[in-house]
Amino acid sequence: MRAEIKVTGIVQGVGFRPFVYRTAVKHDLLGYVRNRGDAGVEIVVEGEKEKIEKFIEDLKVKKPPLAKIHDLIVNFSEEKGEFKEFKILRSSESRELSGSVIPPDVAICDECLKELRDPRDKRYEYFFITCTDCGPRFTVIEQLPYDRPNTTMRDFPMCSFCKSEYENPANRRFHAQTVACPICGPKAYLTDNRGEEIEVKDPIREAGRLLAEGYIVAIKGYGGFHVATATTLSEPIRRLRKVKHRRQKPFAIIARSLDATRTFAIVNQKEAELLTSHVRPIVLLRKSEDYYLSDLIAPGLHNVGVMLPYSAMHYMLFDEVDEPAFVMTSANPPNQPIVKDNDEALKRLGEVVDYFLFHNRRIAHRCDDSVLRVHGGKHVCLIRRSRGYAPAPIRLKFSSKKYILGLGGELNVVSCILNGDKAFLSQHIGDVENIETLGFLEEASRHLIRLTNSRIEAIACDLHPRFNTTRLAYRLAEEWNCPVIQVQHHHAHIAALMAEHNLDEIAGIACDGYGYGPNGQAWGGEILYCNREGYKRIGHLEEQPMPGGDLATRYPLRMAAGILHKKADISEWLFSKNSCLPHGKAEAELILKQLEKGVRIKTSSCGRVLDAVSAILGICHERTYEGEPAMKLEAAAIGGKDVLKMKPKIKGEVIETSEMVYTIFENVGKLNVGDLAYSAQQYLARSLAELAIEKALELGVKHIGFSGGVACNEQITLTIQRIVEDNGLNFVFHRAVPPGDGGTSFGQTIVAALTLQ
Ligand SMILES: [Zn+2]
Ligand SMILES: [Zn+2]
């Protein structure tokens, strides 16, 4: 018999062809395997029917660990007798199927790590050691199929040794496209901050020593540059904060090992699993009681973002120093994408760092590190889904009839392509407020479209008319002659939950900072009923004034004043807080005048209420990064008790927040700040859960979900979950996409798909 087989999924760049080769040879089959231009693999085998069937079974069951098979299409026919052996053929350019994709970057595997440390190995201490099971993928591939000439490794012709491994079916580097060694592969080198090379024998370990001595070093990695410093010294971190104009935003760190991590953070089993997985994300870990790293790493927060080394270079940085960890933060100028090219790095980072640790391999596509945390010891809450995840698809239980591109909103943007029953999310793009990031969004989206061989038939974006992403959607729609579907922000959040859990209807709580409501209102504390037809707002937090509009977001004391003003004369209190306002007494007077006159701009945002409480408790008076006052409130509430036990005050569809905020205010100085922070969060969680349950029971809905940036808050999420489950309803949370705005493009494509069905 002859069988012609087409495989789609993640089958290029994961050692699939070598595996097919070995499996075919094992079953005495003749024929060939080759990569295709649509990221799939094509196999033709001839031999006994029984053996072919066993071969196909093995393909499904014994595939390499990183491979994912979506579809396996088999056509049997008569044997032609044209083959003498089984071969891996040169790839074909043909693009017929869509929805396959190349894999994400993979952390260094144990085998390569062993070789790295083995003095007899040819790749002993070589920073770019990789194999068919590990190394960069997404970030090196310029175009399909995944062959060396289509990657940035084409600049490094293989030496005879690497070539012999590459061509040997018994070798674990058989057809590994990133294979390289110290003779033929990329080289690392150290320079000063003007790009003058510094002659040293061992640039990587020298960089590690410089870090330990207190210097700031920019380090080129897989998907872009990081800026690194020591973690036990505060001076370099203070200097870094100053030159980066980053006063409070936490820095991620890379720890030497899991054991080293345990010396300063609490790591449970689930977190340990995630830290050591081949994704190697940044995991937010609770600082331990004897946390001894600099307080400037994550000021005012109870947790710190930690990742473990994912390349040989990272491991080597630690070899000759005692530091338990290094700061390892994405090198991106404010509101701009992560820096990836050497020239750009010198230009943009030269003033920030003391040294550069470069290598001469180009980065095809930038990719930031992923960030997540674990709720309740077991539930993963993605905060940023990027390196190690992108561009692997999320599989859905339903299939979209159209190919749809979703562009997200304004902050934490990620684009998404819905292609049949797969959703492909791009790497993290960032805040699309300026031209550079918008350009990156467009480029990343077009690249993802090419990679997945998708022909876009509709574009989904936010309802906000003035978002850059909305403008981009209309421009691309004109180019591709397709419709634009604008989706309300919180609807997108809840639709994402619905699709992830394959539900037909849901009562969804969506809480965050801001989303454009249908008539231009500022939403952010919403309960929505969602089904396949659309959504209905069935509850929300009380609308609160925002004196000064956007200023009330930056200076949470303004929010606090706006809420408290409803309940009491606050002039004396506000004047006592003059030092917390940038313009002091004059500003306080102006705010009071605005409040007397009545403030037109109002918001139902949950984030703004948390901000107000944070300011009243003296925890945070200026938001220098997104979510700061609320995140610091969560930190303050750790270990707190619900001392106030405030009863939910719900009128119709509205959850009152003024009285809660006023009660907190009245108890400042009488009760412990941590207990008050805990009580405020508890009030919001309980009220949202109660109203959602009431409405769900009225509507006969069995599922209640929680989404939006506030859902990253562990206490609020776990409280809502407990109450929902205690009432016999099913609680759903995001598993595949972030609850924050990194999940909205996915939700937008779902709404568009349902609209177009
Ligand atoms: Zn490896
Ligand atoms: Zn070599």
Ligand 1 centre and the CA of 314: distance in Å? Answer: 15
Ligand 2 centre and the CA of 65: distance in Å? Answer: 26
Task: Supply φ then ψ for residue 472, to 5 degrees.
Answer: -60, -40
Tokens of 755: 């609209």
- How many CA atoms, within 13 angstroms, populate the side-chain half-sphere of residue 644? 29
Ligand 1 centre and the CA of 16: distance in Å? Answer: 15
pLDDT of residue 342: 96
Ligand 1 centre and the CA of 196: distance in Å? Answer: 33
Ligand 1 centre and the CA of 278: distance in Å? Answer: 11
Ligand 1 centre and the CA of 255: distance in Å? Answer: 21
- Whole-angstrom distance, CA of residue 507 vs CA of residue 696: 6
- Using DSSP's 3-state secondary structure scheme, residue 201 falls into coil
Ligand 1 centre and the CA of 219: distance in Å? Answer: 21
Nearest ligand to residue 187 Cα = 2
Nearest ligand to residue 112 Cα = 1
pLDDT of residue 519: 85
* Edge-to-edge strand list for the sheet holding 394-395: 394-395, 422-425, 416-419, 404-406, 458-462, 484-487
Nearest ligand to residue 114 Cα = 1
Ligand 2 centre and the CA of 163: distance in Å? Answer: 7
Ligand 1 centre and the CA of 56: distance in Å? Answer: 26
pLDDT of residue 200: 97
Task: Give Cα separations from 351 to 62, 216, 311, 574, 742 (angstroms).
Answer: 51, 11, 27, 40, 31
Nearest ligand to residue 172 Cα = 1
Residue given tokens 């959703």 in the structure block? 423
Ligand 1 centre and the CA of 108: distance in Å? Answer: 5
- DSSP of 114-172: HHHT-TTSTTTT-TT--BTTBB--TTTBSSSS--GGGBGGGGS---HHHHHHHH-TTST
pLDDT of residue 405: 98
Per the CB < 8 A criterion, the answer to whether 664 and 678 are in contact is no
- DSSP of 545-574: E-TTTTHHHH-HHHHHHHHHTTTS--HHHH
- DSSP of 225-288: EEEEEESS-SHHHHHHHHHHT-SSPPPPEEES-HHHHHTTEE--HHHHHHHHSTT--EEEEEEP
- Whole-angstrom distance, CA of residue 187 vs CA of residue 687: 58
- Whole-angstrom distance, CA of residue 150 vs CA of residue 156: 12
- Whole-angstrom distance, CA of residue 166 vs CA of residue 181: 12
- Whole-angstrom distance, CA of residue 259 vs CA of residue 274: 15
With a cut of 70, which residues of the chain have pLDDT below it? none
Q: Is residue 371 within a helix (H) or strand (E), and if so which, with residue range?
A: strand 371-375
Ligand 1 centre and the CA of 133: distance in Å? Answer: 5
- Whole-angstrom distance, CA of residue 569 vs CA of residue 550: 24
What distance separates the 2 farthest-apart alpha carbons in the chain?
94
pLDDT of residue 418: 97
Q: Which residue type, as a one-letter code, is found at position 399?
A: S
Ligand 2 centre and the CA of 130: distance in Å? Answer: 12
Distance, C-alpha 391 to centroid of its chain: 12
Ligand 2 centre and the CA of 120: distance in Å? Answer: 15
Contacts of 201 (CB under 8 A, 6+ apart): none
- Using DSSP's 3-state secondary structure scheme, residue 407 falls into coil
Ligand 2 centre and the CA of 166: distance in Å? Answer: 10
CB atoms within 10 A of CB 170: 8
Per the CB < 8 A criterion, the answer to whether 68 and 82 are in contact is no
Judged on CB neighbours under 10 Å (0-12, 13-18, 19+), 278 is: middle
Residue 711: DSSP 8-state = G
CB atoms within 10 A of CB 600: 9
Tokens of 562: 């706006």
Q: Sign of the CA dihedral 613, 616, 619, 622?
A: positive
Ligand 1 centre and the CA of 112: distance in Å? Answer: 4
Nearest ligand to residue 116 Cα = 1
Contacts of 754 (CB under 8 A, 6+ apart): 495, 532, 533
Question: How many residues would you count in the chain?
Answer: 757
Ligand 2 centre and the CA of 156: distance in Å? Answer: 9
What is the value of pTM for the model shown? 0.96
Ligand 1 centre and the CA of 168: distance in Å? Answer: 16
Judged on CB neighbours under 10 Å (0-12, 13-18, 19+), 681 is: buried
- Using DSSP's 3-state secondary structure scheme, residue 629 falls into helix
pLDDT of residue 702: 98
Tokens of 584: 């002091």
- Using DSSP's 3-state secondary structure scheme, residue 17 falls into helix
- How many CA atoms, within 13 angstroms, populate the side-chain half-sphere of residue 179? 25
Ligand 2 centre and the CA of 159: distance in Å? Answer: 4
- Closest-CA residue to 745 (of 466, 409, 427): 409
CB atoms within 10 A of CB 534: 14
- Closest-CA residue to 748 (of 525, 460, 332): 460
Ligand 1 centre and the CA of 109: distance in Å? Answer: 4
Task: Supply φ then ψ for residue 511, to 5 degrees.
Answer: -125, 125
Per the CB < 8 A criterion, the answer to whether 316 and 205 are in contact is yes
Contacts of 692 (CB under 8 A, 6+ apart): 507, 509, 527, 539, 704, 720, 724
Ligand 1 centre and the CA of 135: distance in Å? Answer: 7
Q: Which residue type, as a one-letter code, is found at position 387?
A: R
Find the helix packing angle between 584-597 and 556-564, rounded to 10°: 40
- Whole-angstrom distance, CA of residue 283 vs CA of residue 303: 9
Ligand 1 centre and the CA of 318: distance in Å? Answer: 20
- Using DSSP's 3-state secondary structure scheme, residue 576 falls into helix
pLDDT of residue 225: 98
